[in-house]
Structure 1
Amino acid sequence: MSIPSEGELFKKVLGPAWGGLHPDIQARFDKNPAPGQPLRYSGRLTELRCSRLGRVLGQLTMPLIKGALMPYNDADFPVDIQVYSKPNSAAIFKQRTYRLNGRKPIMFTSFMAESGKGEVLEYVGMGLGMKLLLAVREGNLHFESDGYFWQLFGVRIPLPGLLTPGKTFLCHRNQSANQFDIRIEIHHALFGLMFTQAGIFHEVTT
């Protein structure tokens, strides 16, 4: 099985729109992490916020999907990211280690895969995941969730939108060949902005 990259999947999904991405972003996602040779990124979160309801939801789900919904408000702390593959797997895994101020590090791992229909799916743990829509705007890469699901015995069961944390928006914006920023917001249809993360990262090449 060939070693996968996010870029291969994103090219397929975006089609001609891939060409509108900044060349630095194209190069970043074109890299293939061989098993045992992860891509490493380091940076700092400038903003980590959650609403009161978000904090409750984050605390309740922490034992199941640790770190997917961060129930804290903080700023200016380091985050390390590893992007890696596994032998005989077409999925791309992403491990994030959050080193919040005054707390023990929190590690959260998700993985991205292509569905049989060519959809981009991200799994966050316990069979829970979301379908992602991709778009290119002003040369930057945008992701938007298009429904959450619970996968059980290979079957995806859609979850009602009101019973989820809300719609997820992520922007990967280029700053230079070796630096980018990411902003994530989760908005609930009834309760508004629930979670926010924003940070600046660079690839670790040594």
Structure 2
Amino acid sequence: MASASRISRFPAPAPSHARLLDDPRFRALLSGEDWGRLPVAIWRRFSKRLADGRTIVYVGEVDEVWHSRIGWWLAQLARVIGGPLPTGTETGVPMIVTVTEDAATGGQAWTRICARRDRFPQVIHSSKRFAGPSGLEEYVGFGLRMALRLEAENEALRFRSVGYTLQLGRLRLPLPEWLTPGDVTVTHSDLGGGAFRFTLEIIHPRFGRLIRQSAVFREAAS
């Protein structure tokens, strides 16, 4: 019931007029059987390849956020590399995600803007690139890359971290476990009616769950 009340606050978007191209890049990272287990709405969302430089905008609201004490300090310390982890603790605040086709890398530039009631919004930039040993990685800047494995589970699409590297020029160095935040999982779950949920969870092998954030989105009208 709580999810339904959240979803109803966002009006259904008008049809997008952006020129979209069929994109097989995410689909190619799963078996045909796994891809077939996903809802059609997820197929469509992850088969949109924008023309170079065009952007899709998703508008939503944060409905859950939690940090352990260690997780909160980790998010604050990560500010020195651009602040890629959620630092806020507020729920019920707006969040916007933009996805832009990046012609330079052949990937996608993701920008997340999370409002805060008494401060400027937090802005997180990253780039999803179809490269690396798993075929997909997230680049957060400062040479830091996180390899991702794509999975279909319980009718949801999951992005799971499978290793971290630091790139220095042409040299890529694997990071030891003690220099990483642990296992990162981002889950995309379709809620029907054009709405979907993004959930971020970070679990450390020694310290347990560090961070969890969840938000419900819809695609904005063009």
TM over 0.5, shorter chain: yes
Would you say the 8 A contact 1:122–1:132 is kept in 2? yes
Please report how far the alpha carbon of residue 71 of structure 1 lies from its aligned counterpart in structure 2 after TM superposition.
2.9
List per-residue Cα deviations over 1:6-45 (Å, max 9, x = no partner): 9522111103122221110000111122234200100001
Q: 3-12 or 29-38, which moves further after superposition?
A: 3-12
Check the 8 A contact 1:162/1:189 in 2, yes or no. no
Alignment of 1:167-186 (within 5 A): 167-186=183-202
- 2:100 corresponding residue in structure 1: 84
Post-superposition CA distance 1:39-95 (Å, at most 9, x none)? 0100001112222112222222213122x1223322111001110013343011111
Distance, in Å, in 2 between the alignment partners of 1:4 and 1:186 is 33
Which residue of structure 1 lines up, in the alignment, with residue 119 of structure 2?
A: 103
- The alignment-based identity, stated in percent, is 31
TM-score by length of 1: 0.90
Deviation at 1:98, TM superposition (A): 0.7
Once the two structures are TM-superposed, the CA of residue 156 in structure 1 deviates from its matched residue by 2.2
Q: What is the one-letter code of the residue matched to 1:157? A: L
Kindly report which structure 2 residues correspond to 1:181-200, keeping only aligned pairs within 5 A, or say none: 181-200=197-216
Give the structure 2 partner of residue 56 of structure 1: 73
Match of 2:90 among 61, 64, 74: 74
Shift of 1:102: 1.6
| 2:178 match: secondary structure | helix
For structure 2, the residue ranges without an aligned partner over 5 or more in a row are 1-18
Distance 1:87 1:185 in 2: 30
- Taking structure 2 as the reference length, the TM-score comes to 0.84
Distance in structure 2 (CA, Å) of the matches to 1:7 and 1:148: 26
Unaligned 5+ runs, structure 1: none
Give the 3-state SS of the residue equivalent to 1:40 in structure 2: strand
Deviates more, 1:107-116 or 1:194-203: 107-116
RMSD over aligned Cα atoms:
2.1
